[in-house]
C-alpha cells in the first residue's frame, strides 16, 4: 500500500469565527461556505453575542438557498429571475443550477431571463396587487485550472467584511479556499505528484477517503437532496478518471481506460476535515461475497414488490430458478458473472442484459421479472444476464451502507475502471458472458436495461455541470435509446414506437414523465424531445459492433427506493416484454449479428 496524501484541514467556519472575533465588535460580515444552515446559524448567533453582525450563506446553489432560507413567498404570485451568463461557463449553467426551484414554488409562475456576467442573480418577486420586490443574490465563483490545464468557473468560499464606521465601508471582499475545496485540491495534487510510470496510472484500488461536514438537505420535491458530500464523490471520481485517461494518452471520455478501481469514500465528519489518498492492492471477493445462490439470501419477499436494490445472493437465486443452459465467466475480482439460455419453441435472437453500470439497479429486477414471464410461456427462446458487473455492484452495496440515497458513480464501471461494453480485446472478463450470449442465441436484438440519476448530478469544483454529461444532470423521465446497424433505421423506429406505446400504459408512468418533463423544461428552456406516446427517445447508428438492433432503456433510478423503485422495475419489465413481443412478430426480417 502507498499513501499519497494524509492530512487534516481546519474547518473554515471555525477560522472565520476566530477572524471575526479578532477584529472586534461593530463589524459587519458576510461569508459563503459549504455548510448546512443550522451550523451557519449557530455561528451567526455566537458572533452576534460578541457584537458582530454576520450573515453566513451557502456557497453551494446560492439562489436555491436564498429561496429556502430568506425569501418570503407569502403573497407572491410569480417569480422572475435574471441569471448570470459568463464567458467561462455553459450559457445555461446558472439557470440549471437553480434546479429544482420550479418544483418548490407551490405552483407559482417562474420565468428565467439571461443576464450579465457579474455573478449575481436578479430576483423579482411579483406580489398580489402588482408590486415587485427585487433582490440581488451573489453566486460566488472563481476560475480554477485543473491538472489537465482546463479552466472552469466553479463555486467557492467568499468573505466580505465592512468596517465599524457609519458608512460601513467594505474593507475585504474576496474569495477564500474552504476545507471542501482544499480537500479536493490536495487529493488531486497527490495524484499529480505520484510517480506513475510511462504507461500512466495503474493500480488495484485508488481510495480517496474524506471525512467532512457540509450540506445534506432533503428537499420537498421528489427525491431531491442537496448534498455536498455526494457532489465531492462525483467530482473526485470523474476528475481522477480524467487525470488517468490523460496520463494514459487516451482521448477525453474514452471508456476503454483501465487504470483500476477508483473509490472516493466520503464520510460525514465534525470539526476538521480528514483526507487520506492511498493505493491498495486489488480487492478480491471473499468466499461468501461471490453471489452464490445456495442458502438463504437477504431481501426475501416477492420480486414484484422489491423496494430497493437486490442483494447479490438474491440475484443469483432468481437466476438459478430459471430453466435453461448456464454459462458464466469470472469478474476481475473473482465474482461469477452468470447467464442463462432459456429454450423456447422459437429462437428469435433476443438477449437481455442489466447491471452493466452497477449503480443503475432497477434493470436487474426488471430483467428477472420479465424473464420469469417469458420462461413461463415456453414460447420464446432468449438469453439473460441480469447482472453484468458484480464488482461494481458489490462496491455500490458498500457505498449504500453509508449513503443510501447518493448516486455513487464510482460503482458504475468495472474493477478495472472501464465500461465493459467498450472493452475491445481479451482478457474479456465480464464481457465474455455477453459475447457468449450473442453467439449462443444468434443475437438479433439486444435489450440493455439502464438507469441514470434520479436527482440533480453536479460537479461543483469542476465547473458545476458534469463534464461530458451536461444533458444528464437533470432527470427528464423514462426514455428509450435505439441503436441500429446499416439500413435498419426504419426497423429501429418501428421497435421504438411499439415499446413506447406499451410502456406508456404502465400505471403512474405518464404522470411521472410529465412531472419530470415540466421541471426539465423550466430549467433548460426546452422539453425532452422528440417523444412518442409521452416517452422521449433517440435513434442513431450503433457506435460499435454488435447485434443489428439494440434497445437501451433509461429510467432515473439512481438513489430511489420504495414506490419509485417499484415503478422503475415495472417499467423495465414492460420494456423487455414489449421488445420480445415486437421481435416475435417479425424476427425473421431482422438479420443475425
Give the 3-state secondary structure of 336-396: EEEEEEECCCEEEEEEEEECCCCCCCHHHHHHHHHHHHHHHHCCEEEEEECCCCHHHHHHH
259 and 361 inside one domain: no
For residue 57, which of 80, 29, 81, 79 has the smallest C-alpha distance?
A: 29
Residue-level length of the chain? 593
Whether residues 94 and 215 share a domain: the answer is no
Sheet with 479-484, side-by-side order of all strands? 325-330, 336-342, 380-385, 346-354, 445-453, 549-558, 479-484, 535-541, 531-532
Which of 137, 165, 180 finishes a domain?
180
Print the domain residue range for 349: 308-583
Report which of 56, 31, 18, 59 is spatially closest to residue 160, judged by C-alpha positions: 31
Closest-CA residue to 285 (of 327, 337, 360, 244): 337
Q: Pull the grid cell for residue 81.
A: 429571475
- The verdict on 272 and 144 lying in the same domain is no
Asked if residue 359 and residue 249 are part of one domain, the reply reads: no
Cell of 222: 421528489
Number of structural domains the chain divides into: 3
**Do 126 and 197 belong to one domain?**
no
Q: Has residue 290 been placed in a domain? A: no
Q: Phi first, then psi: give them for residue 104, nearest 5 degrees.
A: -115, 5
**Do 411 and 358 contact (CB within 8 A), yes or no?**
yes
Assess whether 355 and 491 both reside in one domain. Answer: yes
Residues 171 and 188 in one domain: no
Domain annotation covers residue 1: no
In a domain? residue 288: no
Point out the domain boundary residue: 280, 296, 323. 280
Note whether residue 589 is domain-resident. Answer: no
Residues 161 and 206 in one domain: no
Q: Are 46 and 95 part of one and the same domain?
A: yes
Residue 496 C-alpha from the chain's centroid:
25
In eight-state DSSP terms, residue 292 is -
Helix (H) or strand (E) holding 412: none
Q: How far is CA 453 from CA 341, 458, 548, 557, in A?
A: 31, 10, 28, 6
318 and 195, same domain (yes or no): no
- In this structure, are 67 and 119 located in the same domain? yes
Q: Which residues on neighbouring strands pair with residue 30, listed in sequence order?
A: 55, 160
Tens digit of each residue's pLDDT, the chain (593 residues): 899 999 999 999 999 999 888 877 878 899 999 999 999 999 999 999 999 999 999 999 999 999 999 999 999 999 999 999 999 999 999 999 999 999 999 999 999 999 999 999 999 999 988 899 999 999 999 999 999 999 999 999 999 988 766 667 787 899 999 999 999 999 999 999 999 988 889 999 999 999 999 999 999 998 899 999 999 999 999 999 999 999 999 999 999 999 999 999 999 999 999 999 999 999 887 765 665 543 334 444 689 999 999 999 999 999 999 999 999 999 999 999 999 999 988 888 999 999 999 999 999 999 999 999 999 998 999 999 999 999 999 999 999 999 999 999 999 999 999 999 999 999 999 999 999 999 999 999 999 999 999 999 999 999 999 999 999 999 999 999 999 999 999 999 999 999 999 999 999 999 999 999 999 999 999 888 899 999 999 999 998 889 999 999 999 999 999 999 999 999 999 999 999 999 999 888 889 87
The answer on 219 and 89 residing in a single domain is no
Q: Give the residue from 147, 180, 213 where a domain finishes.
A: 180
Contact 242, 376 (CB under 8 A): no
Pairing of strands 445-453, 346-354: parallel
Contacts of 200 (CB under 8 A, 6+ apart): 244, 247, 248, 249, 259
Amino acid at each position: 500500500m502507498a499513501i499519497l496524501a494524509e492530512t487534516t484541514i481546519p474547518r473554515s467556519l471555525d477560522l472565520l469565527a476566530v477572524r471575526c472575533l479578532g477584529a472586534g465588535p461593530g463589524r459587519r460580515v458576510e461569508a459563503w461556505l459549504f455548510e448546512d444552515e443550522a451550523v451557519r446559524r449557530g455561528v451567526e448567533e455566537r458572533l452576534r453575542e460578541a457584537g458582530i453582525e454576520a450573515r453566513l450563506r451557502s456557497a453551494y446553489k446560492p439562489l436555491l438557498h436564498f429561496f429556502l432560507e430568506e425569501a418570503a413567498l407569502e403573497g407572491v404570485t410569480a417569480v422572475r429571475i435574471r441569471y448570470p451568463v459568463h464567458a467561462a461557463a455553459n450559457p445555461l449553467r446558472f439557470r440549471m443550477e437553480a434546479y429544482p426551484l420550479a418544483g418548490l414554488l407551490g405552483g407559482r409562475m417562474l420565468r428565467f431571463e439571461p443576464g450579465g456576467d457579474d455573478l449575481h442573480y436578479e430576483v423579482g418577486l411579483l406580489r398580489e396587487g402588482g408590486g415587485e420586490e427585487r433582490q440581488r443574490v451573489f453566486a460566488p465563483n472563481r476560475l480554477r485550472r485543473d491538472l489537465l490545464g482546463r479552466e472552469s468557473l466553479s463555486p467557492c468560499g467568499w468573505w466580505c467584511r465592512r468596517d465599524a464606521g457609519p458608512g460601513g465601508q467594505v474593507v475585504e471582499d474576496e474569495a477564500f479556499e474552504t476545507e471542501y475545496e482544499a480537500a479536493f485540491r490536495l487529493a488531486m495534487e497527490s495524484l499529480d505528484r505520484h510517480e506513475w510510470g510511462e504507461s500512466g496510472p495503474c493500480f488495484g484500488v485508488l481510495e480517496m477517503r474524506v471525512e467532512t461536514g457540509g450540506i445534506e438537505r432533503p428537499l420537498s420535491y421528489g427525491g431531491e437532496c442537496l448534498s455536498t458530500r455526494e457532489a465531492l464523490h462525483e467530482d473526485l471520481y470523474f476528475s481522477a478518471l480524467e487525470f488517468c485517461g490523460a496520463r494514459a494518452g487516451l482521448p477525453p471520455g474514452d471508456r476503454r481506460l483501465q487504470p483500476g478501481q477508483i473509490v472516493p469514500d466520503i464520510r460525514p465528519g465534525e470539526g476538521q476535515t480528514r483526507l487520506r489518498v492511498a493505493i491498495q492492492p486489488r480487492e478480491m471477493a471473499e468466499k461468501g461475497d461471490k453471489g452464490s445462490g445456495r442458502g438463504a439470501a437477504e431481501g426475501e419477499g416477492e420480486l414484484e414488490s422489491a423496494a430497493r436494490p437486490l442483494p447479490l445472493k438474491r440475484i443469483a437465486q432468481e437466476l438459478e430458478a430459471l430453466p435453461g443452459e448456464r454459462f458464466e465467466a469470472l469478474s476481475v475480482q473473482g465474482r461469477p458473472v452468470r447467464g442463462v439460455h432459456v429454450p423456447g419453441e422459437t429462437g428469435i435472437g433476443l438477449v437481455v442484459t442489466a447491471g452493466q453500470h452497477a449503480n443503475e439497479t432497477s434493470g436487474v429486477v426488471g430483467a428477472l421479472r420479465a424473464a420469469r414471464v417469458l420462461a413461463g410461456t415456453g414460447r420464446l427462446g432468449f438469453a439473460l444476464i441480469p447482472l453484468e458487473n458484480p464488482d461494481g455492484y458489490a462496491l455500490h452495496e458498500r457505498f449504500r451502507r453509508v449513503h443510501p440515497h447518493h448516486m455513487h458513480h464510482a460503482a458504475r464501471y468495472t474493477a478495472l475502471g472501464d465500461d465493459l461494453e467498450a472493452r475491445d480485446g481479451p482478457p474479456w472478463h465480464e464481457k465474455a458472458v455477453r459475447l457468449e450470449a450473442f453467439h449462443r442465441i444468434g443475437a438479433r436484438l439486444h435489450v440493455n436495461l439502464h438507469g441514470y440519476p434520479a436527482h440533480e448530478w453536479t460537479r461543483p469544483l469542476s465547473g458545476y455541470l458534469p463534464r461530458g454529461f451536461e444533458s444528464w444532470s437533470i432527470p427528464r423521465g423514462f426514455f428509450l435509446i435505439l441503436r441500429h446497424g446499416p439500413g435498419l433505421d426504419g426497423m429501429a423506429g418501428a421497435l421504438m414506437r411499439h415499446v413506447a406505446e406499451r410502456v406508456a400504459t404502465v400505471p403512474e408512468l405518464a404522470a411521472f414523465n410529465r412531472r419530470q418533463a415540466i421541471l426539465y423544461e423550466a430549467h433548460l428552456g426546452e422539453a425532452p424531445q422528440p417523444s412518442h406516446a409521452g416517452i422521449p427517445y433517440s435513434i442513431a447508428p450503433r457506435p460499435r459492433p454488435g447485434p443489428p438492433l439494440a434497445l437501451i432503456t433509461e429510467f432515473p433510478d439512481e438513489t430511489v427506493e420504495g414506490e419509485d423503485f417499484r415503478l422503475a422495475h415495472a417499467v423495465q419489465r414492460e420494456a423487455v416484454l414489449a421488445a420480445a413481443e415486437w421481435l416475435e412478430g417479425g424476427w425473421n426480417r431482422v438479420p443475425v449479428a
